[in-house]
Structure 1
Amino acid sequence: MSNKKLIVSDIDGTLLQSNKHISETTKKKIFDLIDEGHIFAIATGRMHGAGKIITQELDYDGFLISCNGAVVKHLKTGEILQAIELEKPLARKVADVCEKYGAYYHLYDVETIYANRFENLGKKYAEAMAALPPEYQFKVEFSEDLRGLIDSVPIYKIGLFHDVPEQFEAIMAELKKVPRLETCKSLETSFDVMKAGVSKATGIEAIRKHYEIPLEDVIAFGDNENDIDMIAYAGVGVAMSNAMKELKDVANFITLSNDEDGLVYALEKFIK
Structure 2
Amino acid sequence: MRKLIVSDIDGTLLRNDKSISDHTKNTIFKAIEDGHIFAIATGRMHGAGKIITQTLDYNGYLISCNGAVVKHLKTGELLQAIELPKETAHAVVKICKKYDVYFHFYDIETIYAERREHLAKGYADGMAELPEAFKFNVVFESDLSGFVDKVPIYKIGLYSEHPEIFQKVMQEINLISGVQTCKSLTTSFDVMAEGVSKATGIEAIRNHYNIPVENVIALGDNENDMDMVKYAGVGVAMGNATEALKAVADFVTKDNESDGLVYALERFVNESQL
What is residue 62 of structure 1 aligned with on the other side?
60
Deviations 1:91-122 (A, max 9, x none): 01110111111111101100000011011111
The 5-angstrom pairing of residues 144-223 of structure 1 reads: 144-223=142-221
Give the corresponding residue for 1:124.
122
| Secondary structure of the corresponding residue to residue 117 of structure 1 | coil
Deviation string, structure 1 residues 78-102 (Cα, Å, up to 9, x no partner): 1100000000000011101111111
- Which residue identity lines up with residue 99 of structure 2 in the other structure? Y
Specify the alignment match of 2:51 in structure 1: 53
Aligned to 1:96: 94
Aligned to 1:12: 10
- Residue identity opposite 2:62 in structure 1: L
Percent identity among equivalent residues? 65
Task: Report the Cα offset of residue 137 of structure 1.
Answer: 0.5
- In the TM superposition, what is the alpha-carbon distance from 1:242 to its structure 2 partner? 1.3
CA contact (8 A) 2:32 2:59 kept: no
| Superposed displacement of residue 76, structure 1 | 1.2
1:42 equivalent in alignment to 2:40: yes
Partner of 1:262: 260
In the other structure, the counterpart of 2:133 is 135
- Output the CA distance in 2 between the equivalents of 1:83 and 1:127: 28
* Structure 2 unmatched runs, 5+: none
Give the distance between the partners of 1:223 and 1:178, measured in 2 at CA.
28
Matches of 2:73 and 2:85 in 1, distance apart? 26
Deviation at 1:62, TM superposition (A): 1.2
1:141, CA displacement in angstroms?
A: 0.3
1:23-78 deviation digits (Å, cap 9, x = unpaired): 11111111111111111000000000000000011101111000000000111111
Whether 1:232 aligns to 2:214 is no
Which residue is 1:110 aligned to? Answer: 108
The partner residue of 2:248 within 247, 250, 257 is: 250
Q: How far apart are residue 188 of structure 1 and its match?
A: 2.4
Structure 2: which amino acid aligns with 1:142?
A: F
**Helix, strand or coil for the counterpart of 1:148?**
helix
| 1:68-87 matches, cutoff 5 A | 68-87=66-85
2:262 aligned counterpart, secondary structure:
helix
Shift of 1:170: 1.6
Partner of residue 21, structure 1: 19
Residue 8 of structure 1 aligns to a residue whose secondary structure is strand
- TM-score, L = length of structure 2: 0.97
| SS of equivalent to 2:44 | coil
Note the alpha carbon deviations across 1:233-261, whole angstroms, 9 max, x for none.
00000011211122112111011111111
Instruction: Give the Cα–Cα distance (whole angstroms) in 1 for the partners of residues 98 and 46 of structure 2.
Output: 29
- Matches of 2:240 and 2:172 in 1, distance apart? 30
Q: Structure 1: how far apart are the matches of 2:29 and 2:250? A: 24
- Cα distance, 1:187 vs. partner? 2.0
Distance 1:107 1:183 in 2: 14
Structure 1 runs of 4+ aligned residues shifted over 2 Å read: none
* Letter of the 1:100 counterpart: K
CA–CA distance in 1 between the matches of 2:83 and 2:19?
Answer: 31
Residue number in structure 2 paired with 1:33: 31
Q: Secondary structure at the match of 1:140?
A: strand
Distance 1:248 1:65 in 2: 22
* Inter-partner Cα distance in structure 2 for 1:36 and 1:153: 40
Unaligned runs of 5+ in 1: none
SS of equivalent to 2:18 = coil
Tell me, what secondary structure is at the counterpart of 1:85?
coil
Report the Cα offset of residue 225 of structure 1: 1.2
